[in-house]
Amino acid sequence: MTDPFKALRLPPTPMNPDPAFAAQLRDQLEQAVLEPEQKTMTTHAETKLSTLTPYLAVTDARAAITFYVEALGAAQQGQPIIMDDGKVGHAELTFGDATIMLAEEFPELGHTAPTTSYPSYRLEVPDVDTTITRAVARGAELLRPATNTDHGKTGTILDPFGHRWLLAEATPAPKTPAPAPSHGELGYHTFQVPDAEAAKTFYGALLGWHFTPGRVENGWQIEGTGGMAGLWGGQGQTGWKLMYAVQDLNAALRTVTNQGGTAGKAETQPYGLSAECTDNQGIEFWLWQP
């Protein structure tokens, strides 16, 4: 006798799934197949976003990107996304650790450049005066010249695309009580240069350092070197001059002399005892007893 279960046999019978599902799966499949290539071909910037990111509407995105890069020191992230009609649909720029996004006008989405009132952004720059000069030379309108205020030097420009920038000197980073360096460790770096303004412009552009007024004339604290560092203009020896921590400054000064160096006088500073010295080859340094 035959096995009644044989009747259960279900030969392949094609069935069309829901077209929406079929299309969705096709997309997923394409993505899975193309995945390795996508990683190298991506045009979308992989910018690390912070909690808040302004999204600007501009009339001419290409010109705006050039302006923000050349005048305000922005860095372009990736390539802009260009729409079929040639419009810039999305671009990303970073200023220091902040990102902005921008796109050309899409009136149908309510995305239009400001024309009658202007949104404002506060931007910290290495050098307010230089930035204002560059911006004005590239078509910005000067709304308020650089002036010294309680919050450092600030000035305001209106860029050619309807956005207002409150340019400001960088605020000092909040002081985190760093552990005092141990004997022999570097305590502070001072970059001594003939012209502080020239160095601020150069290294601000090159390395993105920010400068805040220091406690001596022509002296600036540098934010962005990864350590405790300052810039000092108009000094004799140029280049980096280092400050080493010692446990006992007076004992260390005696050793400096014994080893053929020149020991300076111990002075009381807000941060501890320090003395300016020269080693046995003529290189200047400071000693610091925290």
Partner 1 sequence: MSEPRAHPDPAFALLELYEAALPQVYGYLLPRCGNRTQAEELTSETFLAAVKAAREGGPVSTPWLIGIARHKLVDHWRRQEREQRGLRLLYEDPLNDPWDREINALQAQAVLAELAAHHRSALTLRYLDGLPVAEVAKHLDRTIHATEALLTRARTAFKRIHNGGHR
Binding-residue total with partner 1 (CB under 8 A): 25
Q: Which of residues 47-106 bind partner 1 (CB under 8 A)?
A: none
The span of 4-12, 71-79, 128-136, 269-277 binding partner 1 (CB under 8 A) equals: 4-12
Taking CB atoms within 8 Å and a gap of at least 24, the contacts of 178-184 are 178/228, 180/245, 180/290, 181/245, 181/290, 182/245, 183/245, 183/246, 183/247, 184/244, 184/245, 184/246
151-175 burial, b at 16+ Cβ within 10 Å, e below that, comes to eebbbbbbbbbbbbbebbbbeeeee
The span of 1-9, 91-99, 133-141, 212-220 binding partner 1 (CB under 8 A) equals: 1-9
Least CB distance to partner 1 at residue 85 (A): 29
Least CB distance to partner 1 at residue 16 (A): 5
Least CB distance to partner 1 at residue 39 (A): 14
Nearer to partner 1, 8 or 41 (CB): 8
Which tokens go with 14? 């094609």
Q: Which of residues 246-275 bind partner 1 (CB under 8 A)?
A: none
Nearer to partner 1, 24 or 259 (CB): 24
Encoded one letter per residue, x for contact with partner 1 by CB under 8 A and - for no contact, window 12-51 reads xxxxxxx--xx--xx-xxx-xx--x---------------
Q: Are 210 and 223 in contact (CB under 8 A)?
A: yes
Least CB distance to partner 1 at residue 7 (A): 4
Q: Which of 250, 282, 243, 278 is nearest to 266 (CA)?
A: 250
Query: H helices then E strands: how many in the chain?
Result: 5, 17
Least CB distance to partner 1 at residue 207 (A): 41
Encoded one letter per residue, x for contact with partner 1 by CB under 8 A and - for no contact, window 187-226 reads ----------------------------------------
Nearer to partner 1, 12 or 226 (CB): 12
Strand order in the sheet with 164-169: 120-125, 164-169, 152-158, 141-149
The span of 11-19, 38-46, 144-152, 257-265 binding partner 1 (CB under 8 A) equals: 11-19
Q: Are 99 and 52 in contact (CB under 8 A)?
A: no
Q: Are 143 and 129 in contact (CB under 8 A)?
A: no
Q: Are 165 and 157 in contact (CB under 8 A)?
A: yes
175 binds partner 1, rule: CB under 8 A: no
Residue 197: in which H helix or E strand, if any? Answer: helix 196-207
Q: Which of 218, 227, 226, 200 is nearest to 126 (CA)?
A: 200
Least CB distance to partner 1 at residue 9 (A): 5
10 binds partner 1, rule: CB under 8 A: yes
The identity of residue 264, as a single letter, is: G
Which tokens go with 214? 């220091």
Nearer to partner 1, 37 or 85 (CB): 37
Nearer to partner 1, 8 or 206 (CB): 8
CA distance 25 to 28: 5
Q: Which residues bind partner 1 (CB under 8 A)?
A: 1, 4-10, 12-18, 21-22, 25-26, 28-30, 32-33, 36
